[in-house]
Amino acid sequence: MSNVDALIISELDRMLPLPSGERANWQEVVGRAAFHRGRTKSRRRLVSIAAAATVAALLVAVTTPVGAAVARGLDNFASWISGEPGQPVSPAEQQAFQQANERSWSGFAPGTALRRLIETSASGTSYTLFGFRSGDQLCLRLVASGAVSATRTRCAPLRALQTAKEPALVISVDEPFESASAPPSGADSVPEPAASFGIVSDGVTKVLLHADDGNHEALVASNAFLYVTDHTQVQVRVRSAQAIAADGASVALPLQSAPFGTIDLPLQPKGTPQGPAKVERRVSGGTIGWLDAREPRGEPLPAELLRFPELVSGSYVFGRLIQPDPESADRMGVLLTDGSLEKPSNGEPGLCTALIAGDDTGATVCGHFGRRFQSGPLDVGMTSSGAGQFSIFSGLASDDVNQIKVFLASGATVKVPLKDNVFVVRVARAAFPVRLVAYDDQQRVIDVHTYVSDGMTNPAPWRARTSVHELFRIRAGAGHTLIVRAGDTVGGVRCSSESLSDPVKGNSVDSGCSPWPLTDMPQGNPLTLLAAWERDSGNNVFLSGMVPDQVASVTVTFPDGNVGKLRLEEGLAGYLVPAAELTGRRTLLVYGAYDKSGAQIAQRGERIGG
């Protein structure tokens, strides 16, 4: 992280304090924010001054009443409840699945039976949707073979069917399958195959997906639905879905659209957080007794987990694998080290946690052992995939915590599995806003974490997002191009993006939506949001960023005294640093901002290269 990034983060902390219960650091928060600019496939990230900590998305659709054929009832999902949807796979397929599951340290319960649900093909690729139940998890596994070869597995908790008011459950929308085709020069991405799938009850005869490019009817069979498109256009997303009965009655299915970059995200939610909002007993500085005593709780850590780069910055001291719910494949590795990504200052051990989910491996977090419960007895992390329809809350609870509950926007309450101070629970992205509440042994509220969203929402007005268009591009040759785009200012918000194409390293995008015009710049410097990209495969360095309206022109001065003028349109700047100016390992650039009269109003330096 550069000094400029640290400055921005410091200012964000001052201007936008974390909401109650959210204690993640700004690096993590910005990664989940609605008002943010996240540069992917690049080590440098430019963060908008308007980053919002946690925002949410609740998509509640209302259509015609459900007909008798799709009236919700547990028996309608009987095949899934019993773990026998569709047809058994061949012995060879089952054996291959079991062997792969046994080899995987993040696998499902032994003996899990694979079932074949739907088969289809598109443009030289065969797609087979499998289903299985593992403990209290219902999983769909989509396997692509041929022109595209990949496997996607998504799971939902059994209670999602047991408590659903709708006759179908969306598991994933616009699940991406990367194409082997390279993007054309100057393009952010190329059309790629994508799939949407889920579970349906006996009475459902059709599932309609409403997308930006029209309505699509999914294949429905074996109590499941599948829609595959091999030509998904860039930024085309499924926005809503309907389940339809034989008599024509329909019901809307809750879902959250998959994100595209950091601009095309669902809107903020309209629901209200439920459950207790205030603590009844304040607790801080908690401990985990069994970890302090190095008691062998749970199971030994898998060797693969210790190979995570986040966990090897210090020497391994002690660790265990904890499974809070014996019926779930979700587990968490808890490790003590003699150091961490944040070096302890007083000799205390580092503490790392690694979420291990059966369908994915979640985030790894490291920090000071003694600081995990400074602000309260719950240390919470949230993982969301984008296409998948369920987020995972996980973390550590101090010894003060006796019970944890999740309160959904609908008013429903979920008891969170908690064992050996570790908790993991899955929550539908369409169920936000949610509130995690911790209780002591006397049922007093001792911690509250409120999440308005799963972090993948954008409160910017729709027209601000859809009006984004190209302003200019700067080419360096051999396929290296910086493309700068911006949209209309709507409701005081403007969306923009800066993308860098690289035929070797791939494309990087820095995009987001921010208040506009810019008024409150960190430390009052209008050049704070101007910075250099990391050097591309052609040894080029591009500059880009936003400046407020009072800046009429921007220059860059090199060590040899040469001065270049940045291209500036509608508050967005761009520039290609000539290779001849990149002298030595680190090159000092000095930016200058000038008003309409030509008077210099600001200056800032940045070292680039390396």
Q: What is the pLDDT of residue 558?
A: 92
Q: Homologous superfamily of 459-609 in CATH?
A: Immunoglobulins (2.60.40.10)
What's the distance, CA 137 to chain centroid?
21
Q: What is the pLDDT of residue 127?
A: 95
Distance CA 154, CA 561 (A): 57
Q: What is the pLDDT of residue 49?
A: 24
Phi, psi of 294 (to 5 degrees): 60, 40
Contact (CB, 8 A) for 64 and 166: no
Does the pTM surpass 0.85? The reply is no
Q: What is the pLDDT of residue 392?
A: 93
Q: What is the pLDDT of residue 179?
A: 56
**Interval 556-608: pLDDT, tens:** 999 989 999 999 999 999 999 988 888 666 788 999 999 999 999 999 999 88
CATH class of 289-451: mainly beta
Phi, psi of 345 (to 5 degrees): -95, -10
Q: What is the pLDDT of residue 483?
A: 94
Q: What is the pLDDT of residue 400?
A: 97
Distance CA 200, CA 530 (A): 50
Q: What is the pLDDT of residue 29?
A: 29
Distance CA 228, CA 451 (A): 32
What averages of pLDDT result for each successive group of 10 residues across the chain (610 residues)? Answer: 33 32 30 36 28 25 33 60 88 86 71 92 92 91 91 92 90 81 48 89 93 93 92 74 91 89 74 95 92 94 72 74 92 81 60 82 73 89 87 95 97 96 95 96 97 83 88 89 94 91 83 85 83 85 93 94 95 91 80 96 85
Domain ranges within the chain, ordered by starting residue: 68-253, 289-451, 459-609
In 10 A of CB 469, how many CB atoms? 9
Query: H or E segment at 160?
Result: helix 158-163
Distance CA 554, CA 551 (A): 7
Phi, psi of 76 (to 5 degrees): -65, -25
